[in-house]
Chains A and B, each alone.
Chain A
Amino acid sequence: MNEPAIELRGLRKSYGSIEAVRGIDLRVERGEVFAWLGPNGAGKTTTVEILEGHRSRSGGEVSVLGHDPGRNDRALKERMGIVLQQTGVDQYLTVREVVRMVAGYYPRPRDVTEVLELTGLAGQADRRVKQLSGGQKRRVDLAVALAGDPELLFLDEPTTGFDPSARRQAWETIRGLAELGKTVFLTTHFMDEAQALANRLAIIADGSIVASGSADELIDAGSAVSRIRFRLADGIVLPDRFGARREASACELETDAPTRALHELTKWALDADAELLDLEVSRRSLEDVYLQLTADAGAAAAE
């Protein structure tokens, strides 16, 4: 079965005269963790909701596990799980009851106790949802999405509001799902999350995909891949030829040729008797790429 988990061709969505999604092509393979990134209002949520079957499209072809999600097919819903941004479960039922209730909707559900263990809720199983903390409720959302043992999972900002250790735990859970061969479509605002989990990712800005590929591919694409950072004591002026940004004492410059740049920088510093405090050379981060691409798209849209 070489059919992709998700395939989009020329997807469009307009609200009146506003084009929220302007012809998107996308392919997500089975067993892949795919990260879907983009600023608010870029058409990101609209696209996901079309995939989930919550929203209709204006044009293009959409295939999710071989089905058209716009047709509200029960057979498709039996094979996917959704974590929405908003918790939507009955507050007066216990965690176990909620998971068992939802599991019953599916033909081949996962064992309820197993789902609770996988999501770290075994200790809260008999507490009412109402009594849980925000982070625990978010885990109930994940548990509910896993209850039917779906092949494809949509996770919409699954770790927003988590403390750092809860986030790491959630990441482990998502990795575990990938190891089981599940396809995960992850929407997130956290670049470290996308980088840690996703095999491939795509960035949407202003209704179009501006980049897609693995995190490494995105970072290595284009210019100015390396970043040099240091601090200078007050009163020392860095010559303009380095093209560095400076905020108070902190300086930062980006370059394709870090060896030469570093050599010139240290030569200048020795001659000027200036100390490059906290000097570091690093690779550009995914966040840098993201900010640059989405800013470019924003500027293009404004023109």
Chain B
Amino acid sequence: MSGLALAVRQIGYENRAFWRNPPAAFFTFAFPLLFMVIFNVLFGEGAAGFFTPAIIVFSVVTATYTNLAMMVTIARDEGILKRIRGTPLPAWAYLAGRIGHSVAIAFLLVVIVAAFGALVYRVEVPWTAMPAVLLVLVVSAATFSALGLALSGLIPNADASPAVVNATILPVLFISNVFVPMESAPEWLDTASHLLPVHQFADAMMDLYARGADAGLPLMELGVITLWGVIGVLGALRFFSWEPRR
């Protein structure tokens, strides 16, 4: 089989294993919706226009970055990666399988969140800007996947992975216009967080949601996100490890 066919096949096996842990699968999907409901209650009427794209961003980041960093670290420490390394399956095909599955889950989440926003909160899906929306989603999912793989190389062991992963992403989500609107934040913080990919991703999604086709293509945001994607790929190449650490 070609490497590409093997990668696709690998997504299938990842998918099978994913659905066999129903509590994990259920909360993967329930978690963003729960956040959406809570934020809308907390911030009141009119907040849904903000929180629908915000939770889409949150969903993509957790399904790729958080999920990959944690699961790959666990797989590494369980010896799964080392075993794969001893077979003819090309390393990239294995990782492509894992990333492919994470991205598929991320997109499923985006659809669910967008539908929930539209049906429950009457937040219109930006149909007119669909090509730009898809491009932002694809570039962001790829970037956060690469960053997740790079981070897993820096996590010393599986037990430490939830703590390390959350410490790297939760503060960023708070200062990136995702959990809390950044209107009242000091300017320096707003400027600083714009150097990070989450804030750019959020800006792009919010703008597309607010203005539809009028928003055009968010080139600046895509540029920063892509730059982080490159950093992620280089970091993954440098730090990623197949060997369990003890």
Q: Which A residues have a C-beta under 8 Å from some C-beta of B?
A: 52-54, 74, 77-78, 80, 82, 84, 86-90, 92-93, 97, 101-102, 104-107, 128, 144, 148
Residues of A within 8 Å of B85, CB to CB, are 53-54
Q: How far is the CA of A82 from the CA of B80 in the complex (A)?
A: 13
Given known contacts A93-B13, A97-B13, A105-B6, A88 and B78 CB-to-CB distance under 8 angstroms: yes
B80 with A89: CB separation less than 8 A: yes
A88 with B82: CB separation less than 8 A: yes
B83 with A88: CB separation less than 8 A: yes
Cβ-based interface call for B220 (8 A): no
Cβ-based interface call for B191 (8 A): no
Q: How far is the CA of A52 from the CA of B20 in the complex (A)?
A: 33
Residues of B within 8 Å of A92, CB to CB, are 16-18, 20-21
Closest to B5 in A: A104
Task: Report the stretch among B32-40, B87-95, B121-129, B194-202 that lies at the interface.
Answer: B87-95
Among B178-202, those with CB < 8 Å from A are: none
Q: Which B residues have a C-beta under 8 Å from some C-beta of A?
A: 1, 6, 9-10, 13, 16-18, 20-21, 78-90, 242-244
Q: How far is the CA of A143 from the CA of B221 in the complex (A)?
A: 49
Pick 30 A–B contacts, CB within 8 A, sort by A. Answer: A52-B86, A53-B86, A54-B86, A74-B90, A77-B88, A78-B88, A82-B83, A82-B86, A84-B79, A84-B86, A86-B78, A86-B79, A87-B79, A88-B78, A88-B79, A88-B80, A88-B82, A88-B84, A89-B83, A92-B17, A92-B18, A93-B13, A93-B17, A93-B20, A104-B6, A104-B9, A105-B6, A105-B89, A144-B83, A148-B88
Q: How far is the CA of A128 from the CA of B10 in the complex (A)?
A: 18
Closest to B89 in A: A105
Closest to B10 in A: A101
Closest to B76 in A: A88
Residues of A within 8 Å of B10, CB to CB, are 101
A285 smallest CB distance to B (angstroms): 34
Residues of A within 8 Å of B78, CB to CB, are 86-88
Q: How far is the CA of A97 from the CA of B20 in the complex (A)?
A: 13
Residues of B within 8 Å of A93, CB to CB, are 13, 16-17, 20
A90 with B86: CB separation less than 8 A: no
Given known contacts A97-B13, A104-B1, A54 and B88 CB-to-CB distance under 8 angstroms: no
Q: How far is the CA of A87 from the CA of B78 in the complex (A)?
A: 7
Q: How far is the CA of A254 from the CA of B89 in the complex (A)?
A: 53
Q: How far is the CA of A17 from the CA of B40 in the complex (A)?
A: 61
Residues of A within 8 Å of B90, CB to CB, are 74
Q: How far is the CA of A144 from the CA of B79 in the complex (A)?
A: 14
A169 smallest CB distance to B (angstroms): 23
Residues of B within 8 Å of A107, CB to CB, are 88
B88 with A74: CB separation less than 8 A: yes
B83 smallest CB distance to A (angstroms): 4
Residues of A within 8 Å of B1, CB to CB, are 104-105
Q: How far is the CA of A150 from the CA of B218 in the complex (A)?
A: 52
Q: How far is the CA of A148 from the CA of B87 in the complex (A)?
A: 9
Given known contacts A74-B88, A148-B87, A90 and B17 CB-to-CB distance under 8 angstroms: yes
Closest to A53 in B: B86
A46 smallest CB distance to B (angstroms): 13
Closest to B19 in A: A92
A106 with B86: CB separation less than 8 A: no
Closest to A87 in B: B79
Residues of B within 8 Å of A144, CB to CB, are 83
B21 with A54: CB separation less than 8 A: no
B243 with A54: CB separation less than 8 A: yes
B87 with A90: CB separation less than 8 A: no
Closest to B24 in A: A92
Q: How far is the CA of A92 from the CA of B13 in the complex (A)?
A: 10
Closest to A80 in B: B86
Residues of A within 8 Å of B242, CB to CB, are 54
Q: How far is the CA of A53 from the CA of B90 in the complex (A)?
A: 14
